[in-house]
Amino acid sequence: MKICPRCGLTTTDDAQAFCLMDGTPLVDQLASEPTVVMSRTDPTVTTQQPGKKKTGMWITLAILGILVIGGLIGILMYAAYRMGSETASIKVNTNSISPTPKPSGTPKATPQATPSTAPAQQATPESTPDEVPNSDEPTPISWTGNAAFVKTDVGLRYAFECPPDGTPGTVWGSDVYTADSSVCTAAVHAGKITLEKGGTVTIEFTPGRQMYGATTRNGITTYNYGQYPHSFVFK
């Protein structure tokens, strides 16, 4: 079968060479059919397989996980290092601080009820402690002497004679003094006598106190003290 490529007229006469309508040369119908071109797959193009894609994704996730874990470990190690450094610094600073000395309070040792050995300049009463009269008759006493050698019962009174040109002794308290304080120095502090002239003073024993204060009067500075069993005041 032949066909006219111009008007499309077909004929089964194989001997006919031209179209009877327009004179166009006839062609075989099979030859005139369009050739279907089939696309070929480019062998150079590699088709990615699903299995390999998933494997690559898991490898990527594993790498990211390792990086994250490594970062967290690094942060924890750095924090531990900083804490250790700060702790060491605090210890060094603490060790470098000198302890604050405790206030001495007073140079007074724990008072003793029994009298200590009398200094050379102290006049020792002729009578024994139990024989010292409870009267206004003055008993000579040095500037370092105290009233701890007599009976310290509350209410008892004693008169003492302080020599002139005295050297101050140690006194604890103010107005109310511990029984082992220097009687003559306490008398100057209380304004009863002076260091230059000395004089006679009378004391009266009073109950002990929980605390004795400190003041400066008439050129004499006394000391603080805690509890003591016997006290005296001037009359």
Q: In total, how many domains does the chain have? A: 2
Give the integer Cα–Cα distance in Å for 183 and 233: 10
Where b means 16+ CB within 10 Å and e means fewer, 29-52 reads: eeeeeeeeeeeeeeeeeeeeeeee
Strand partners, 221: 216
Q: What is the mean pLDDT of residues 167-195?
A: 97
Judge whether 63 lies within some domain: no
Q: What is the mean pLDDT of residues 68-91?
A: 79
Judge whether 42 lies within some domain: no
Q: Return the structure tokens found at 219.
A: 């050129």
Q: Return the structure tokens found at 195.
A: 């260091």
Beta strand 176-178 pairing with 228-234: antiparallel
pLDDT score recorded for residue 137: 80
Least confident of 7-16, 119-128, 159-168, 207-216: 119-128
39 vs 61 pLDDT, higher one: 61
Q: How many CB atoms neighbour CB 69 within 10 A?
A: 10
* pLDDT over 90 percentage in the chain: 44
Least confident of 19-23, 181-185, 195-199: 19-23
Position 92 pLDDT exceeds 50:
no
pLDDT score recorded for residue 40: 53
Which value, in Å, is the radius of gyration of the alpha carbons in the chain?
62
Give the integer Cα–Cα distance in Å for 31 and 213: 138
Position 180 pLDDT exceeds 90:
yes
pLDDT score recorded for residue 38: 56
Judge whether 204 lies within some domain: yes
Where b means 16+ CB within 10 Å and e means fewer, 170-192 reads: bbbbbebbbbbbbbbbbbbbbeb
Give the integer Cα–Cα distance in Å for 58 and 52: 10
The DSSP secondary structure of 25-70, one letter per residue, reads BPEEHHHHSPPPPPP---TTSPPPPHHHHHHHHHHHHHHHHHHHHH
Q: What is the mean pLDDT of residues 208-229?
A: 96
Position 91 pLDDT exceeds 60:
no
Give the structural domain span for 191.
132-234
Judge whether 8 lies within some domain: yes
Q: What is the mean pLDDT of residues 82-90?
A: 68
Least confident of 5-19, 27-41, 137-151: 27-41
Judge whether 193 lies within some domain: yes
Contacts of 235 (CB under 8 A, 6+ apart): 157, 202, 203, 204
Contacts of 71 (CB under 8 A, 6+ apart): none
Judge whether 91 lies within some domain: no
Judge whether 41 lies within some domain: no
pLDDT score recorded for residue 187: 97
Q: Are 111 and 180 in contact (CB under 8 A)?
A: yes
Kindly report the CATH number assigned to the domain that includes residue 174. 2.170.130.20
93 vs 82 pLDDT, higher one: 82
Q: What is the mean pLDDT of residues 171-179?
A: 97
Judge whether 170 lies within some domain: yes
Q: Are 182 and 190 in contact (CB under 8 A)?
A: no
